[in-house]
Amino acid sequence: MFDIVSIKCLIKIMNSRQMLKTIMAQQALTYEKLAALLTSKTKKKYTATSLSGKLYRGMLRYDELELIAQEYGYKIELKKA
């Protein structure tokens, strides 16, 4: 059973998939564009399929998400409740 404070904290939590989907929607991005960005910035091979799979499995690394966020003018913040 959750109390009201716990429920408020749970509502504010976004996972990496939700964060990236928000950025993608606001910037009209595709997996192809993000894969090209990550490939050019990291020199590792990314594809739309591999990126989509990482999100589906919850395996997107923080540094990957941070790189995307910074590229499009977003900042990831952790705040103590």
Q: Give the pLDDT confidence of 56-72 residue by residue, as tens digits.
A: 898 999 999 999 999 99
Exposed/middle/buried for residue 3 (C-beta within 10 Å: 0-12, 13-18, 19+): exposed
Tokens found for residue 78: 């952790």
Per the CB < 8 A criterion, the answer to whether 67 and 38 are in contact is yes
7-41 pLDDT tens trace: 444 445 578 888 899 999 999 999 999 999 999 99
Q: Which residue has the tokens 């009201």?
A: 4
